[in-house]
């Protein structure tokens, strides 16, 4: 019979013969079968709570493969495994478990039935690391009383190489999975990017001429850029254009809406976290900065970023390094940072809501995107662009026509929602009247209804002007809504039942919005009119 040292050496050579754990197990099975009665061998992994067993890989005389078969364990069987764990830690159990009478062992029967094997003798080598049963190397042979102490002595020599083999296999599997997931995310980001900027930027030769000139100038550099402009002007489109025109165009473009991420999750989202960093952190997670490595990250709505996160962002700008939440390793990142906001950052700096040093770092090259009302000459081209695109999205047979007065109606409106509002208005009109002609006399009304296109009227109302424009003002509408909420809470901003809770916003954000609209906070909210 082969000696233990020779068996250990030959088995180790075979388990290390391939990164594919299935192929390596198959090579081991061929060798083991020379010295013991083995039909199949398994590499098992146990969940941390011992609620189940995963067959990582299995091998027989004919094949070896990774399976990933998961076998749930009832509570009584989990306690059996815990007892095995305790006995091995106390040194009160032999290094190898032999169960030659499977009909008398419920756990063996449960596993054999799950893998579809006949009644078989079982021999298992528990793999215990750090005081926990992490898995086992198992072997079965059909029938009873197939294994003896000589087989157990040979099997016991395999603890170290098979623990290393399982660790390497799992790490290799995780690395492949992570690589595939990152590749998929990168492809998805590029698809979204091409979809959003693959078309011509409408207005590049007219209303946005100066903006596009700045884009071309700054794209060739690595300088941070701050894009400002009202909501809906297309700041994200300008950021995408900068990325595509830069040397980083082959890398990822990662947009982050700082205003849409809860403050408690922002650090994890941006910087990533280590396993166990907080409750629910079950695995290491890469943050947006790491995902943007060799590419560009867009920090949209940067004015909504909490002051604590602003400090950490400043360090990234200065050192080009990050630390994951719960980690100590400094990770270098090669990224370009573009920020965008519709907020008045200098005013926020004066009021203590934004760091001045961060503003200086971000606004090396500021690009201001003009609102749609200041580039009304782009409206005809934008209308044609959106009608063409929506015709495809809505699967219309042909593009609807415009009524004669349509462009005039659109030109007379001041577009508080900018290009985004224009797109929505056109889509709504095409849904309600897909055959055309399209009219837009309901601009500014709550529903956007075309009040001048009712059946039989044959006329359309002219757009509202001058004094009527006051009713269309977006700030006034917001101020009126805030006043109604303050009336309901009798001026209370914080706490349960306060205005911030009812509106679903941070109290500091609400206080800033009230100040911006000229509405005093607290009990004096009735004393001032909203800004027109």
CATH value at residue 71: 3.30.450.40
Looking at the fold, whether 49 and 72 belong to one and the same domain comes out as yes
Q: Check residue 130 and give its pLDDT.
A: 64
Interval 330-336 mean pLDDT: 88
Write the pLDDT tens digit of every residue in 464-499. Answer: 444 344 444 566 777 777 887 888 787 787 777 788
Are residues 342 and 512 in contact, defined by beta-carbon separation less than 8 angstroms? Answer: no
Q: Which of the two residues, 522 and 406, has the higher pLDDT score?
A: 406
Q: Check residue 349 and give its pLDDT.
A: 92
Indicate the pLDDT class of residue 167, thresholds 50, 70 and 90.
low
Average pLDDT, the chain: 80
State the residue range of the domain holding 220: 205-368
Distance CA 283, CA 306 (A): 26
How far is Cα of residue 135 from the mean position of the Cα atoms in its chain? 32
Interval 292-309 mean pLDDT: 90
176 in any annotated domain: no
| Max Cα distance, the chain (Å) | 104
Query: Cα torsion for 83, 84, 87, 89, to the nearest 10°?
Result: -110
Q: Which of the two residues, 331 and 204, has the higher pLDDT score?
A: 331
Q: Check residue 510 and give its pLDDT.
A: 78
16 in any annotated domain: yes
Q: How many domains does the chain have?
A: 4
Q: What percentage of residues in the chain have a pLDDT greater than 90?
A: 12
Q: Check residue 195 and give its pLDDT.
A: 47
How far is Cα of residue 372 from the mean position of the Cα atoms in its chain? 32
Q: Which helix (H) or strand (E) holds 128?
A: strand 120-129
49 in any annotated domain: yes
Q: What percentage of residues in the chain have a pLDDT greater than 70?
A: 83
Residue 356 structure tokens = 């001045």
Q: Check residue 339 and give its pLDDT.
A: 93
Looking at the fold, whether 295 and 380 belong to one and the same domain comes out as no
Are residues 46 and 67 in contact, defined by beta-carbon separation less than 8 angstroms? Answer: no
Looking at the fold, whether 144 and 233 belong to one and the same domain comes out as no
Q: Check residue 473 and give its pLDDT.
A: 55
pLDDT beyond 60 at 447: no
The CATH number covering residue 215 comes to: 3.40.50.300
Q: Which helix (H) or strand (E) holds 426?
A: helix 418-432
How many CA atoms within 13 Å lie on the side-chain side of 88?
Answer: 22
Cα–Cα distances (Å) from 284 to 140, 272, 278, 326, in that order, read: 36, 8, 11, 10
Q: Which of the two residues, 501 and 40, has the higher pLDDT score?
A: 40
pLDDT beyond 50 at 197: no
Q: Check residue 341 and give its pLDDT.
A: 92
Looking at the fold, whether 146 and 95 belong to one and the same domain comes out as yes
Distance CA 465, CA 414 (A): 10
């Amino acid at each position: 019979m082969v000696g233990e040292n020779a068996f250990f050496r030959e088995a180790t050579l075979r388990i290390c013969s391939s990164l594919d754990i299935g192929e390596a197990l198959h090579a081991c099975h061929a060798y083991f079968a020379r010295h013991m009665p083995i039909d199949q061998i398994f590499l098992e992994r146990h969940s941390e709570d011992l609620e189940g067993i995963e067959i990582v890989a299995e091998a027989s005389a004919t094949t070896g493969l990774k399976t990933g078969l998961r076998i749930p364990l009832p509570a009584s069987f989990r306690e059996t495994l815990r007892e095995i764990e305790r006995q091995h830690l106390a040194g009160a159990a032999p290094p190898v478990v032999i169960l030659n009478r499977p009909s008398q062992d419920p756990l063996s029967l449960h596993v054999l039935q799950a893998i579809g094997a006949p009644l078989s003798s079982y021999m298992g080598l528990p793999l215990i690391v750090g005081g926990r049963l992490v898995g086992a190397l198992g072997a079965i042979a059909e029938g009873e009383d197939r294994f003896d102490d000589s087989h157990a002595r040979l099997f016991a020599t395999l603890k170290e190489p098979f623990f290393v083999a399982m660790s390497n296999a799992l790490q290799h599997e995780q690395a492949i999975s992570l690589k595939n997931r990152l590749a998929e995310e990168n492809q998805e980001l590029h698809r979204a990017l091409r979809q959003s900027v693959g078309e011509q930027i409408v207005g590049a030769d007219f209303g946005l001429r100066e903006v596009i000139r700045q884009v071309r100038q700054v794209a060739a550099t690595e300088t941070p850029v701050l894009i400002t402009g009202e909501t809906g002007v297309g700041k994200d489109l300008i950021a995408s254009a900068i990325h595509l025109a830069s040397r980083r165009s082959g890398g990822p473009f990662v947009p982050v809406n700082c205003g849409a991420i809860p403050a408690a999750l922002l650090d994890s989202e941006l910087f990533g976290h280590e396993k166990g960093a907080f409750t629910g952190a079950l695995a290491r997670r890469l943050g947006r900065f790491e995902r943007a490595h060799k590419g560009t990250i867009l920090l949209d709505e940067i004015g909504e970023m909490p002051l604590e996160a602003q400090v950490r962002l400043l360090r990234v700008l200065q050192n080009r390094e990050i630390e994951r939440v719960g980690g100590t390793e400094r990770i270098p990142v090669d990224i370009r940072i573009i920020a965008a906001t519709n907020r008045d950052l200098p005013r926020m700096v004066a009021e203590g809501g934004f760091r001045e040093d961060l503003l200086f770092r971000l606004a090396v090259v500021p690009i201001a995107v003009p609102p749609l009302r200041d580039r009304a000459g782009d409206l005809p081209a934008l209308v044609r662009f959106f009608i063409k695109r929506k015709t495809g999205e809505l699967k219309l047979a042909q593009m609807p026509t415009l009524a004669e007065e349509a462009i005039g109606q659109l030109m007379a409106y001041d577009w508080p929602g900018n290009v985004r509002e224009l797109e929505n208005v056109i889509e709504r009109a095409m849904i309600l009247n897909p055959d055309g002609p399209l009219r837009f006399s309901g601009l500014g009304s709550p529903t956007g209804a075309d009040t001048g296109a009712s059946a039989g009227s044959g006329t359309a109302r002219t757009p509202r002007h001058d004094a009527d424009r006051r009713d269309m003002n977006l700030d006034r509408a917001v101020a009126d809504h805030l006043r109604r909420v303050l009336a309901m809470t009798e001026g209370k901003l914080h706490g349960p039942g306060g205005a911030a809770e009812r509106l679903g916003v941070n109290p500091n954000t609400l206080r800033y919005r009230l100040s911006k609209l000229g509405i005093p906070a607290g009990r004096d909210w009735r004393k001032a009119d909203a800004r027109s």
